[in-house]
Amino acid sequence: MTLRSRTFWIIVPVAAVLFLDRLTKNLAIEQLAGQPPREYAGGLLRLLYDENPGVFLGLGSSIPEASRFWLFTVAVGVMLAGLVASLLFRKTVTRGEVAAFAMIIGGGTGNLIDRIQYDGVVIDFLNIGVGSVRTGVFNVADAAVIAGVLLYVVTQWLGERGPSRAAGSPPAEPGGS
């Protein structure tokens, strides 16, 4: 991929994730804050407002505030900048890696914006499940990060074990047959 092509395929998904994340979080603040949870599809989907000072499933929420700032704001910001630099300046990068890391960058940036804007917390509002078997409360940015990680794992697995490769043969060059 050329640098121009890479840049385009980084910007588009990052912008899409950020747009959807900001839009849905603003709606959650306006419509859900201070309200009881709302259930849809027989309770499969719950919308409820939550301010999460931790990370995934509230992990780290009991860490002192100054440490959370350094870990969840500064370190995450540095990591996201490193991912962008890696995508832009590595000699070889696959389309799958670009797509996966762009989703992670978009989601990570969405939650980073929350931490900066809302004094160290992230706005969460989605919960999926049946009865007592439910996910934690999450948001669009979280979903993008998880989707990006899963896409990365799948593309790496297919790159190693893809059906178009004979056992023991090297991976095909991008654009090759």
Options 21, 50, 114, 124, the catalytic residue: 124
Tokens read off for 96: 């799958």
Q: How far is CA 3 from CA 6, 93, 104, 168, 173, in A?
A: 5, 10, 19, 31, 18
3-state SS class at 40:
strand
Query: Nearest-5° angle of CA 126, CA 131, CA 134?
Result: 40
> Is 119 a residue of the active site?
no
DSSP state at residue 91:
S
Q: How far apart are CA 147 and CA 94, in angstroms?
A: 17
> Could you tell me which residues come within 8 angstroms of residue 105 by beta carbon, excluding any fewer than 6 positions away?
10, 14, 80, 83, 84, 148
Under 8 Å between Cβ of 93 and 87 = yes
Q: Are 8 and 1 in contact (CB under 8 A)?
A: no
Active-site position among 21, 50, 114, 142:
142
Question: What are the residue numbers of the active site?
Answer: 124, 142
